[in-house]
Amino acid sequence: MDTKQRTLVKAVVWNLIGLAMMSLVGFVMTGSIAVGGTIAVINSAIGLSCYVIYERVWARVRWGRSHG
């Protein structure tokens, strides 16, 4: 099982990648860096929260793990 710190670091790195991609998509779709960036930040905050919860829930699920 991952530690809480590892889960958080994985989530932050993943969200930084997502933030960059969403900023680019937001800019292309709206033509505005400010609007695109705002969309990206909101999306990243929601995504980070959901990802951390998701990882911690799955860390408690025993199904599918090998015990060797």
What is the domain partition of the chain in residue ranges? 4-60
Counting Cα atoms < 13 Å in the Cβ hemisphere of 24 gives 5
What element of type H or E holds 44? helix 33-60
What element of type H or E holds 33? helix 33-60
Residue 64 pLDDT: 84
Residue 52 pLDDT: 85
Residue 22 pLDDT: 92
Cα–Cα nearest to 8, from 47, 45, 53, 52: 52
At residue 68 the predicted structure's pLDDT band, cuts being 50, 70 and 90, is: low
What are the tokens at 36?
């695109």
Q: How does pLDDT run across 20-58, given as a tens digit for each residue?
A: 999 999 999 999 999 999 999 998 899 889 988 998 898
